[in-house]
Amino acid sequence: GFEVYNGNMNHDSHDILARTWATYLGKIQTSGSDFHDPGSRINAGIATETRIRNNQDLLAVLRSGRYQLIQPA
């Protein structure tokens, strides 16, 4: 898969390039905040109605496509 949106505005994450390749190759697309400090603003991720308790749950949701990307409009 490809992270097609990276919420960290401190560097160029090449989101457009990542989305282009992910779409072209038919790969899973994700969105991540890339913030690792307390108090950082979270503006990215995925939204799903499925409870994710572990990596296996996450992989199942990503593979199923039953999620939406969280990213600014």
pLDDT band at 67 (very low <50, low <70, confident <90, very high): very high
H/E stretch holding 3 reads: strand 2-6
State the Cα–Cα distance between residues 62 and 14, nearest whole angstrom. Answer: 21
Check: pTM over 0.85? Answer yes or no.
no
Both tokens of 60, joined, read 């199942």
Q: Which of 16, 60, 13, 51 has the alpha carbon at shortest distance from 33? A: 13
Q: Of the candidates 52, 11, 15, which has an alpha carbon nearest to the alpha carbon of residue 3?
A: 15
How many residues are recorded in the chain?
73
pLDDT (tens digit per residue) in 2-47: 999 998 877 889 999 999 999 999 999 999 987 777 777 778 999 9
